[in-house]
A and B are shown apart, each in its own frame.
Chain A
Amino acid sequence: MLVADQPVLGIFARDLFPAFVLAAAVAVAVFFMIQRARSGASIPLIRRLPGIEALEEAIGRSTEMGKPVHYIPGLGDIRDPMTIASFAVLSFVSRLTASYDVRLICTNRNPVVYAIAEEVIRQSYLEAGRPDSFNPDDVRFMSDAQFAYCANVVGMLVRERPAAQILYGNFWAESMIIIEQGALIGSIQIGATAQVHQMPWFVACCDYALLGDEMYAASAYLSKEPVMTGTVVGQDIGKYICFVLILLGVIMSTVVGSNDHFLTRWLQ
């Protein structure tokens, strides 16, 4: 066996060792902040997220207009971290719709996500003390095919005319059609994604947009628990680590005059 193929320290896979070290560094930062929060030490607050603050306004508007709220947990599957992040917001939204007694329509592209979304909403209605208001027919599996799903959602938007539309998760080209249709029927729209190719549309077309890491911070923001906030602070320490690495890389590349130096070799 070549040295290049041999495990680092006899146990770690060589190609992913730098990634493991970086992940471990961020994980240590997150654990440190969680411990800090548990011990009662002060934790910085998460800055105001207008997109999350607007959820209540959007649902209140739907209640006043007597129209439903439409929620999409993205088109990604259950392995997608954006979909997982979406469930925390879906839980919050469904508790609000249950307490305001307004209809919530949740459309899904992935059958696994559909099953979980139904359970999340059912449980939220139960916790809000309104299990009878939960209508399983309003949690819908549309289609597994991207544009068949899109056509189905556009049809639903035209028929049901929701006053608020929340798109929270991973989206592709169909997001443009869905958001524009939402704008045409006059819905207030809140969009959140970490999918960089769709971000420009979310910014241009939605009334409120949560981009990149903002969408992952929502669950901590909504919970207002110091331990959850601590994980977001730990994540920010990870950003500083990345910033230092980038800076070091720029300096090294400038000094050496090429990208062939220890940092790039190690990271590769």
Chain B
Amino acid sequence: MRKQGPMIICTLAGLILIFSRYFQVGRDLGMLTTWDRWFMLSSGMAIGVGAINLTILHAKNVMRRTQYWQSSVILLVCMYGYMALAIHQTTGAGIPLWIFQSFMVTANSTLFSMVVFFIFSAAFRAFRIRSREAALLGLVAIITMFGVAPIGDALIPGWSGLKDWLLDVPNMAGFRGIQIGAYLGAFATAIRILLGLERAHMGGGGR
């Protein structure tokens, strides 16, 4: 019963969602909105579970004086300090908003901009010509790069048209083919869950 119970709830929830999406009666009842609210509520509660995990993990680091335990102190002070501030002042204004915009937003942008350097090292590995496929990949990359940069059209007028064709025709065709396959895969997974064939998300071996 430990697994049958959640499995029955899972199947019922799936069937109700199908009913509320594809059937007019389900839509009129607005069940989808209600279920979305339930999900938001349960996700909000789960944030607390995450916070508890972080606290236990880093409190252990501090108590055991493990390597870099000082970082754990900083994390706990920041997490609970910000929480206290936000409860006191609300997150949408004042010091919490200033902290968020000055630290979180800038740190996020900094990390995001690091992607460009990693693209260089990844491109170096990807474009090493070791096979016919890699040679083709390198050739297409050169055409695209020259097409995007102004030098392409300056050297050979109409170069960017070749780049556009590559992106809009062969690239898009492959892109959509993979997407159709992925959606069908997701659909088959959903059927496996509805039928109770796939149970790994309930813990254990899955069957």
Contact of B111 with A147 in the complex, beta carbons under 8 Å: yes
Q: Which residues of B contact A200 (CB under 8 A)?
A: 126
Partner of A144 from the list B25, B47, B108 (CB cut-off 8 Å) is B47
> Could you say which of B148-156, B162-170, B182-190 contacts chain A?
B182-190
Q: Which residues of B contact A177 (CB under 8 A)?
A: 111, 114-115, 118
Q: A150-B111, A204-B125, A231-B197 are in contact. Are A225 and B207 (CB under 8 A)?
A: yes
Contact of A159 with B21 in the complex, beta carbons under 8 Å: no
Q: Give CA–CA (A203, B181) in the complex, Å.
A: 17
Q: Which of B37-77 contact A (CB under 8 A)?
A: 39, 42-43, 46-50, 53-54, 56-57, 60, 67-68
Q: A12-B22, A137-B60 are in contact. Are A235 and B185 (CB under 8 A)?
A: yes
B97 within 8 A of A: no
Contact of B182 with A212 in the complex, beta carbons under 8 Å: yes
Q: Give CA–CA (A89, B193) in the complex, Å.
A: 15
Chain A residue nearest to B22 (CB atoms) is A20
Q: A123-B203, A173-B115, A177-B115 are in contact. Are A81 and B190 (CB under 8 A)?
A: yes
Q: Which of A32-85 contact B (CB under 8 A)?
A: 34, 77-79, 81-82, 84-85
Contact of A34 with B195 in the complex, beta carbons under 8 Å: yes
Q: Give CA–CA (A242, B111) in the complex, Å.
A: 40
Q: Which residues of A contact B125 (CB under 8 A)?
A: 183, 204-205
Taken residue by residue from 203 to 240, chain A's Cβ proximity to chain B (1 for < 8 Å, 0 otherwise) reads as: 11100000111111101100101011001101100110
Contact of A88 with B200 in the complex, beta carbons under 8 Å: yes
A145 within 8 A of B: yes
Q: A81-B189, A87-B200 are in contact. Are A112 and B24 (CB under 8 A)?
A: no
Q: Which residues of A contact B56 (CB under 8 A)?
A: 137
Q: Which residues of B contact A91 (CB under 8 A)?
A: 200, 203-206
Partner of A119 from the list B39, B104, B118, B203 (CB cut-off 8 Å) is B203
Chain A residue nearest to B123 (CB atoms) is A204
Chain A residue nearest to B111 (CB atoms) is A147
Contact of A111 with B184 in the complex, beta carbons under 8 Å: no
Q: A79-B39, A204-B126 are in contact. Are A115 and B46 (CB under 8 A)?
A: yes
Chain B: how many interface residues by the 8 Å CB criterion?
Answer: 62
What's the least CB distance linking B42 to chain A, in Å?
7
Contact of A77 with B205 in the complex, beta carbons under 8 Å: no
Q: Which residues of A contact B192 (CB under 8 A)?
A: 219-220, 228, 231
B119 within 8 A of A: yes
Taken residue by residue from 7 to 36, chain B's Cβ proximity to chain A (1 for < 8 Å, 0 otherwise) reads as: 000000000000001111101000000000
Q: Give CA–CA (A122, B47) in the complex, Å.
A: 21
Chain B residue nearest to A10 (CB atoms) is B24
A263 within 8 A of B: no
Contact of B207 with A212 in the complex, beta carbons under 8 Å: no
What's the least CB distance linking B66 to chain A, in Å?
10
Contact of B180 with A111 in the complex, beta carbons under 8 Å: no
What's the least CB distance linking B6 to chain A, in Å?
11
Contact of A235 with B205 in the complex, beta carbons under 8 Å: no
Instruction: List A residues at the B interface (Cβ < 8 Å).
Output: 7, 11-13, 16-17, 19-20, 23, 26-27, 30-31, 34, 77-79, 81-82, 84-85, 87-88, 90-91, 95, 108, 110-112, 114-116, 119-120, 122-124, 126-127, 137, 140-141, 144-148, 150-151, 159, 173-174, 176-177, 179-180, 183, 194, 196, 199-201, 203-205, 211-217, 219-220, 223, 225, 227-228, 231-232, 234-235, 238-239, 242
Subset of 6 A-B contacts with CB under 8 Å? A20-B22, A27-B187, A124-B205, A213-B182, A219-B189, A220-B192
Instruction: List B residues at the A interface (Cβ < 8 Å).
Output: 21-25, 27, 39, 42-43, 46-50, 53-54, 56-57, 60, 67-68, 104, 107-108, 111-112, 114-115, 118-119, 121-123, 125-126, 175, 178-182, 184-193, 195, 197-198, 200-207
Extra contacts, 9 of them, besides A81-B189, A203-B126, A239-B181 (Cβ < 8 A), are A31-B191, A111-B46, A122-B203, A174-B111, A212-B181, A213-B184, A228-B192, A238-B188, A242-B184
